Structure 1
Amino acid sequence: MRVMQAWTETIPMMQQTVLLTAIRGPDGVPKYGSVKMLLRWFRRCVLVSATDGKVLENPYDSNGGSFTGPSVGLIIDDQWEYLMDTHCDEYLRSLDGIPHHFQLHLLHAVEILGYKHPDERIKRWWHKLYVRLVNDMHLHPESESELDGRLGDSREGWLRRADPATVA
């Protein structure tokens, strides 16, 4: 049995690694705060639920335990996006209390989901969050081809966007 969902095997290893770096949330934040609710949904989009042995395809299914548990309660007409957007709103309002290092891991992982997730509805939602996160930093979103160049399992591709001070 695998831990990561099958679709993740279709993306470069560098991108898979980025997804894994965001799995664990930052210390010192409330267990039921916005960042943890976003992470529960993120984990459902990347991991197979260990407590259920299956992919949880929405943020409201009651399965998943606490690590991949639901991010929103009972909903009507499967309109989970609106409820998840409220977690995004609160996350953006609370960014000053989130470690910058974690925020960057999450931003890059969200970008990958926004370009690579196989479900179009889920992909659209994550891409929207990616754009919100980069806009909040007054930056421009990276295109999918730029992402693939930077994290396409090529040292040369990665080095094109790396700062010399951080290259070992």
Structure 2
Amino acid sequence: MIVTQEWTHALTCMQQTVLLTAIRGPDGVAKYHPSKYMIRWFRRCVLLGALDHNVFENPYDPRGGSFTGPSYSWSPAIPHEESWTVHMQPVFDRYLQSLDELPHHFQLHFMHAAEIIGYKHPDPLIRDWWNYVYRELANDMHLNVETEEELDFRLGDSEAQWRAKSSKATQA
């Protein structure tokens, strides 16, 4: 059984690897840290549900346990026409406000994984939301945003292209 969603199978091996490196989440933070709610939604966008092999289409579906569980609670009082993106904004805001508490290494993996979903996910609403997250995370670190073409060049399963975009000090 394959555990990743079908859309990920068309990605390059390097892009799939980036997604998988962010699955685990950060070490050393509390169970209910804002990062945990972001990573749950991330997992829902990449992995199949472990118990029923479903594809989660939103961050509030009550299924998923603690690993792929909801990022916020949905209530019948919330109008269906109100997008989940409205309710994920405060979740993301709390995440941005907590970045100083997170390992930098995790944050880089997460930002690049958000970039891949933000360019490659087949659902336009999910893709656009993660593209927004990627851009905000890059802006927070005062980085230039990569275009999709630049991402595909850097993580295109070509060693020469990867080396062209990486530091000489890390190419050993």
Give the structure-1-normalised TM-score: 0.97
Counterpart Cα distance in 2 of 1:141 and 1:94: 21
| 2:133 corresponds to 1:129 | yes
Corresponding residue number in structure 2 for 1:71:
71
Q: Identical aligned pairs, as a percentage?
A: 58
Counterpart Cα distance in 1 of 2:36 and 2:52: 20
Check the 8 A contact 1:13/1:153 in 2, yes or no. Answer: yes
How big is the shift at 1:167? 0.2
The amino acid that maps onto 1:110 is A
Counterpart Cα distance in 2 of 1:62 and 1:81: 17
Structure 1 segment 2-151 matched on structure 2, within 5 A: 2-75=2-75, 76=78, 77=80, 78-151=82-155
Question: Number of paired residues?
Answer: 168
Counterpart Cα distance in 1 of 2:71 and 2:32: 9
How big is the shift at 1:86? 0.9
Check the 8 A contact 1:72/1:80 in 2, yes or no. Answer: no
Unaligned runs of 5+ in 1: none
The amino acid that maps onto 1:47 is L
Unaligned runs of 5+ in 2: none
How big is the shift at 1:52? 2.2
How big is the shift at 1:32? 2.0
SS of the residue corresponding to residue 30 of structure 2 reads: coil
Counterpart Cα distance in 2 of 1:84 and 1:149: 31
How big is the shift at 1:33? 2.1
How big is the shift at 1:113? 0.3
How big is the shift at 1:148? 0.1
How big is the shift at 1:97? 0.7
The two structures, once aligned, show a CA RMSD in angstroms of: 1.0
Give the structure-2-normalised TM-score: 0.95
| 2:163 corresponds to 1:159 | yes
